[in-house]
Amino acid sequence: MLNFGQNLSSVKNFHSINLKNNLINFNGNYKQENGNKAANEEQQNFYTKSDAIRFPKDALEYLHKKLPQTDDERMFPYLTNTVQMLCCEDENAKNLKQIIDFISENGLSENILYSILTNGGINSKLTDDLNKIKMCGKDFIPEFKNDDEALEFAKKGEVFKTKDSDFAKIKTDEVTIKELKISPKTYLKLFPLAQRYMITQGFSGDCFLLSSLNAIFKHPKAKHNILSAFVESKDGVC
C-alpha cells in the first residue's frame, strides 16, 4: 500500500518521479498564483479550520489518513489531479473532501472514489444527498402534508412521504404522484442517501448493466418503474 505521506520516489514506477516533480511544481505555482488572491469570506472560513488542506503535503497526509488501504497502483493515475483538486479554494474541493470523508466514515470501498474520479465530475445529486446527511441525518426523507403540497414543492423524481400515507411516494411529472409499495424507512434501507449515487463496478463484467440502471434511475418515470417492483409485506420485501 502507498504511504501517501512518505517518499513517493520509493514506488517502483517511473511515474512516481514525474508525480513528485509535478507536486513540487504545483506547490510553488499554487503559492505564487494565490499569494495575492483575495479569498472571499466563505473560503477564508473553510481554510482556517484545523483540517484545512492548503498544499499538496496536506492533501497527501489527508488521503493517507482517510484511505489508508488505498491501492497505490490504482490510485496513481488519479493522484496528481486529486491532490490539486483538494488544494483548490472552490466548491469542488469541498465536495470531494466531503465524499472522501463519507467513504472513510462508512467503511465503503475506495472503488467509489475511483469511479467518481474516472467520470471526471461529481454528481450534483450526490453532493445534495451529502448535504442532507450533514443537516438532517441519514434517515432524512422529504415530508409533505398531502399530495397537493408535494406537487407544488417536490422535485420531479423525488421520493417522499406524506402524513396521510404509510408508504413512500414519488413525483413522476408536474401533475402526477405515484404511491410505492414500500415504506419510507424501507426505501432508505434499499437506497441509502448518497450511496444510491455511488455506483461502482467490481470485478464482474457488468458495466453495461450498472450504467443502464444508473441512466434509468435518473428518469422520474423509469425510476418509478424500478421502485414499484419492490413490494413490502409483513414477511419482508420482495
Taking the C-alpha atoms of residue 143 and residue 86, their distance in angstroms, rounded to an integer, is 35
Distance CA(56)–CA(63), nearest Å, equals 10
pLDDT in tens, 150-185: 999 999 999 999 999 999 999 999 999 999 999 999
| CB-count burial class (<10 Å; 0-12, 13-18, 19+) for 193 | buried
Start-end of H helices in the chain:
15-34, 41-47, 56-66, 72-87, 91-105, 111-119, 124-136, 147-153, 184-190, 207-217, 220-227
Query: What is the CB neighbour count within 10 angstroms for residue 208?
Result: 8
In angstroms and rounded to an integer, the radius of gyration of the C-alpha atoms of the chain is 21
Give 150: exposed, middle or buried? Use CB within 10 Å, 0-12, 13-18, 19+.
buried
Q: DSSP letters along 85-126, please?
A: HHHSSSHHHHHHHHHHHHHHHTT--THHHHHHHHHTS--HHH
Torsion of CA 115, 116, 117, 119, to 10 degrees: 80
- CB-side neighbour CA atoms (13 Å) of 49: 10
Tell which residue, 148, 143, 151, 149, has the closest CA to residue 167: 143
Cell of 13: 514506477
Total-model pTM: 0.67
Cα first-last separation, the chain: 41
CA distance 18 to 59: 18
- Tell me the per-residue pLDDT of 182-217, one tens digit each, with 9 for 90 and over: 999 999 999 999 888 877 776 677 778 888 887 888
Q: Report which of 168, 172, 173, 170 is spatially closest to residue 188, judged by C-alpha positions.
A: 168
Q: Which three cell numbers stand for residue 55?
A: 498544499
d(CA 168, CA 127): 23
pLDDT tens, residue order, the chain (238 aa): 334 433 333 333 333 434 444 444 444 444 444 444 444 444 444 444 445 677 788 888 888 888 887 766 777 777 777 888 888 878 888 888 888 999 888 888 777 777 777 666 677 888 888 888 888 988 999 999 999 999 999 999 999 999 999 999 999 999 999 999 999 999 999 999 988 887 777 667 777 888 888 788 889 999 999 999 999 998 888 8
